[in-house]
Every structure is written in structure tokens, then in C-alpha cells.
């Protein structure tokens, strides 16, 4: 795992954004695995700025997002489809038909999850997979548990994740209790994995991801087995390393 140290959130966003931009420039028809949440917003802003400056072309890029809340339609302002449109897709020249987010309203969710994995594989898997890391070490919505789940699946969110996400909703009661998420196998199929982390609240999870035992109690620890992981983190997130 290669560690890129950043001074703060802005520096982290710039460095991570530049890594994603380099992937797009190097392979214009690349497949990107994308993440949501507050961590990558600055990196997406960097990509939009690159497009507006004429340096980036997303017309051939395909994207597959990590996850989506179960029960939220794509036009709900807290859905991850809405997040991606608002923070990136609406501001660059990407073909929306080439952007993919799990269907939060899928009735036969097992079939929908299997189809999502098949679509990622048919696209050739991710050239670059962007990840954040949860306070409890989750990646995507793969929560601490007894096993690493290989494929895209439906998960029950832990209380800590619900609490962490409640700031985005009017009430904690409005936070969905389940989500669809790429599994560990789908994530690990990416040729490059880029992890972003900022803030002291992520320090223990970052430490356990890098130095802890490989255990489903910290889902991010599986990344120790991937041959090409880049961690871009600020000083606070790296304070225990």
C-alpha cells in the first residue's frame, strides 16, 4: 500500500483528484468505481474544474458506484444517484447512460445485485476504484461482521453508520436501515484502489486497515492483499500511523 500524505482536506482532495484525472487522461475509456459521502466531494470538484479548463474529457468514461440506500429513488435528495449527479455527472460531459448506481427500489434485489456484478465484469472491471473508509473500517457499506462477502448484496447498516449518516437527513428516523453495496470481491477486482481518509475520527480505522490483522471485523483490512492500493490521507487521519 502506497501512502500519500496530505496536509488537510483540501490537499487530500487535490491529490486524490489528480490521481483520478490521470487515469482518465491515460485511458479515456476507463471504468471508474466511484464513492459517495463527504470525503470525495473535494476530489469531484477538482475533476469538474479539470473538465471546465478543457483538460479532462469524460465522454467515453464508464462509472459504477459502490452503493445505494435501499428504498430511496434516484431523485431523492439523499440518494447516491442524486449525489453523483449533483457533485459530478451534471457538470462534466459524461454520458449518463454510462453511469451506474445500484437500484435502490429493486424488488428482486438478489437478481439486481447479481446483474450489477455481471455488468461490472462485462465492462472489464474497474480501472480505478475510489473508496472512503468508515469510522468502523467499513468500505462501501460492507460493515464489520463474520465474513467478507464477495458480491454485491443487501446489508443491514450498523448503528454507528446510521448515526454517522444522520447528519444528512432531517431526522435519524429518516435514515434508511439497509443499503445495496458492492461486495469485497467486486471491489478487489479493480486494478487500482484509491482510498481517501481525512480527520482524526478516521485515524483508528486507517491504522487498522494498514497494520491490523486481516479480519472482517475491519473490512478495509482486506486491502492489504491487493497489489495496487493508494491511500491519500491527511495528517489527522494518519495520526496513529
The model's pLDDT over 25-66, given as tens digits with 9 standing for 90+, comes to: 999 999 999 999 999 999 999 999 999 999 999 999 999 999
Set of cell numbers at residue 167: 447528519
Report pLDDT for 158. Answer: 85
Residues designated catalytic: 67, 136, 138, 143
Please state the domain extents for the chain.
2-186+201-234
3-state secondary structure of 196: strand
Q: What are phi and psi of 137, to 5 degrees?
A: 85, 10
User: Cα 178 to the chain's mean position, in Å?
Assistant: 17
Quote the CA–CA distance of 55 and 70 in Å, as a whole number: 36
Is the pTM above the cut of 0.85?
yes
Is a pLDDT exceeding 90 seen at residue 190? yes
End-to-end CA distance of the chain: 13
Q: What is the pLDDT of residues 204-219, one digit of tens each?
A: 999 999 999 999 999 9
Listed residue (236, 232, 207, 201) closest to 220, CA to CA: 207
CATH fold, domain 2-186+201-234, is Rossmann fold (3.40.50)
Set of cell numbers at residue 230: 493508494
Taking a C-beta distance cutoff of 8 angstroms, is the pair 179, 214 a contact?
no
Amino acid at each position: 500500500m502506497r501512502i500519500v500524505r496530505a496536509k488537510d482536506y483540501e490537499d487530500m482532495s487535490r491529490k486524490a483528484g489528480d490521481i483520478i484525472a490521470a487515469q482518465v487522461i491515460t485511458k479515456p475509456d476507463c471504468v471508474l468505481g466511484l464513492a459517495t459521502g463527504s470525503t470525495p466531494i473535494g476530489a469531484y470538484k477538482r475533476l469538474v474544474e479539470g473538465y471546465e479548463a478543457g483538460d479532462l474529457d469524460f465522454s467515453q468514461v464508464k462509472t459504477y458506484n459502490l452503493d445505494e440506500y435501499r428504498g430511496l429513488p434516484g431523485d431523492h435528495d439523499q440518494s447516491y444517484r442524486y449525489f453523483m449527479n449533483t457533485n459530478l455527472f451534471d457538470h462534466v460531459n459524461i454520458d449518463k447512460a454510462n453511469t451506474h448506481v445500484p437500484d435502490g427500489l429493486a424488488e428482486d434485489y438478489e437478481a439486481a445485485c447479481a446483474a450489477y456484478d455481471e455488468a461490472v465484469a462485462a465492462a472489464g472491471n474497474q480501472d480505478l476504484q475510489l473508496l472512503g473508509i468508515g469510522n468502523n473500517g467499513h468500505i462501501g457499506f460492507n460493515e464489520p461482521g463474520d465474513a467478507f462477502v464477495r458480491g454485491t448484496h443487501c446489508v443491514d447498516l450498523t448503528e454507528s453508520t446510521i448515526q454517522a449518516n444522520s447528519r444528512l437527513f432531517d431526522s435519524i428516523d429518516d435514515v434508511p436501515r439497509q443499503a445495496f453495496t458492492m461486495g469485497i470481491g467486486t471491489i478487489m477486482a479493480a486494478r487500482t484502489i484509491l482510498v481517501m481518509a481525512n480527520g482524526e475520527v478516521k485515524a483508528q480505522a486507517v491504522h487498522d486497515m494498514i497494520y491490523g490483522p486481516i479480519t472482517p471485523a475491519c473490512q478495509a483490512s482486506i486491502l492489504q492483499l491487493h497489489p495496487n492500493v493508494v491511500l491519500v490521507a491527511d495528517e489527522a487521519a494518519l495520526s496513529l500511523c
